[in-house]
Amino acid sequence: MSQFVIFVNGPAYGSQHAHSALRFAEAVLAGGHQVRQVFFYQEGVHNASRLLCPASDELAIAPRWQALHDQGVELVSCVSAGLRRGIVDVEAAEDSDLDSANLAPAFVLGGLGEYVTASSDADRTVQFG
């Protein structure tokens, strides 16, 4: 059984990167392997927003990330990239005097150090975006 870390730079919509990363993670799990972490960086942090509202004929990516999380996959959104792009949890919203948070429940905020630690313990790291 191999262990993977997946690094996502692409936004939820507007490019294929996030969807490809999601499908890859699902295939890894279906193949009996483990996804230690999916780390969202740069524009990829937009995947962590609980406010995603795609049109009815578009892929609803948020429930698929949630399903991955429900299978034990850690979803980490870069805190620094998120702050610059308006993706915040309750604590970050309070620290920045914002009136609300928008981090989806399946995600946690973290730094690049968490990605590096997960990658060092994984057999493979795959980047999308």
* pLDDT at residue 101, rounded to an integer: 97
* pLDDT at residue 129, rounded to an integer: 87
* pLDDT at residue 33, rounded to an integer: 98
pLDDT per position as a tens digit, 64-102:
999 999 999 999 999 999 999 999 999 999 999 999 999
Taking a C-beta distance cutoff of 8 angstroms, is the pair 80, 111 a contact? yes
Q: What is the mean pLDDT of the chain?
A: 97
The pTM for the full model equals 0.96
Mean pLDDT of 105-121: 97
Residue 56 has pLDDT above 90, yes or no: yes
Phi then psi for residue 39, to 5 deg, are -110, 125
Mean pLDDT of 102-119: 97
* pLDDT at residue 4, rounded to an integer: 98
In the set 8, 61, 73, 78, the catalytic residue is 78
Domain boundaries, the chain: 3-128
Instruction: Determine whether domain 3-128 maps to CATH 3.90.340.10.
Output: no
d(CA 55, CA 73): 27
Sign of torsion over alpha carbons 34, 116, 78, 105: positive
Is 78 catalytic? The answer is: yes
